Amino acid sequence: MREIHLENTVILKTDVRGAFPGSSFNREAAENAFRFHKSLPMYQRTELVSLDAAARQCGVKAILLKDESTRFGLKAFKGLGGSYAVFRILCDRLGLDHTKAVFRDFLTEESQKRCREVVFVTATDGNHGKGVAWASRLFGCKAHVYMPAGSAEARRKAIADAGAESAVITDLNYDQVVEYASRMAEEKGWILIQDTAWDGYETIPHWIIEGYLTMGEEVCEQLAGMIPTHVFLQAGVGAMAGGMLGYLSNQYAESEPVFIIVEPSTVACLYESAKAGDGQVRSILGDSVTIMAGLNCGTPCSITWPVIRDRAAFYCACTDAVSERAMRALAHPPEGSNAVVSGECGAVTFGAFLEIAKDEEARRTLGIDEDSVILLFSTEGNTDPEGYVRIVSGQ
């Protein structure tokens, strides 16, 4: 292993472990999720934006950014996972075949009566909880949402507005609030919908991750035969990152991209797990601080860690400045280019790429050149509107 230290990013180069054994996050799983999502009345495919001016400036063939700021009106991709998990849970409750059922199957009088009996609970940094609240209301269920200390009031209000029965900011850190939500589920008889996994709690997180694969189905359609050479994936616990990595590895098995995991430097649990070199996860303890609220998670997801461990070639630990610069660059692009509204978590992968692109050693190490096609996922828009304006205005 080798580390490269840039101005605001540390890069870890790893030795991936040979042939990829495959992943359950495959085309079949993605097609099931995609079919369900397309049955929702508000479904629209999000845009794959070509950052042509940035590509020219950085000396690469293309930079393509999947803009999730318009997903279901929630300003983030998380509604994909939350809605698919709710769908799968309710399919089991109502005796429906998830490979055939669509949203309208839940609108009968009997189905609605049974859905109103279901209460969900979750812990969130913001976007996941909003997705669960929105999906719960969509199906006629209830949802209680708990948030860690330091969460922005704007994020809490957005969760309440999305349909949560209650949305509460606690005095706990993220891992502690996950434990609290789990305990509330046991005490109240509610159903926990959490976007990370641990021993004994894996089925629902797996469904959440499968829901994210709709992004992959859309991207592969939008690429129209173009194969990315490098894929940057932001990670908190690594659920989305591992799901997309597994899916894209399966899709592009004959010409697999280089996968790069990007995390906040203050809570880089996947970076530290990979650096340890023994294949086991490492947790970041304590109350870490970062503007990237949705990535402020201290323990890797047990479902996706093996996928990330075996296929990610590089890990980047970035300071908040990396995300802030990228947010401003996307909000204020060169003349003739379209602006992209990308929040703190959404922009960090573009920021990491920009750091790498201007450093010759880093470019050479990652194999980035004039033929490179860079794929990025802007996972959220301005989910903290006041914070977004402050950052992109440079205040």
Q: Which residues are designated catalytic?
A: 78, 125
Going by C-alpha positions, the residue among 16, 26, 22 that lies closest to residue 247 is 26
Enclosing H/E stretch for 204: helix 203-223
Task: Using the Cα atoms of residue 248, residue 253, residue 254 and residue 259 in order, give the sign of their dihedral.
Answer: positive
The amino acid sitting at 349 is T
> Parallel, antiparallel, or unpaired: how do β-strands 166-169 and 191-192 relate?
unpaired
Task: Using the Cα atoms of residue 30, residue 32, residue 33 and residue 36 in order, give the sign of their dihedral.
Answer: positive
> Parallel, antiparallel, or unpaired: how do β-strands 314-318 and 166-169 relate?
unpaired
- CA–CA gap between residue 131 and residue 300 (Å, rounded): 21
- CA–CA gap between residue 227 and residue 274 (Å, rounded): 26
- CA–CA gap between residue 111 and residue 96 (Å, rounded): 11
Residue 362 backbone dihedrals phi, psi, to 5 degrees: -65, -45
Record the tokens describing residue 223, joined without a space. Answer: 């690429």
Task: Using the Cα atoms of residue 127, residue 130, residue 132 and residue 134 in order, give the sign of their dihedral.
Answer: negative
120 forms beta bridges with 143, 191
**Burial of residue 47 (number of CB atoms within 10 Å: 0-12, 13-18, 19+):** middle
Enclosing H/E stretch for 310: helix 305-311
Residue 100 backbone dihedrals phi, psi, to 5 degrees: -130, -30
Record the tokens describing residue 360, joined without a space. Answer: 């010759």
- Check: CB of residue 242 under 8 Å from CB of residue 273: no
Residue 358: DSSP 8-state = T
34: CB partners within 8 A, 6+ apart? 213, 214, 217, 218
- CA–CA gap between residue 378 and residue 343 (Å, rounded): 8
258 forms beta bridges with 230
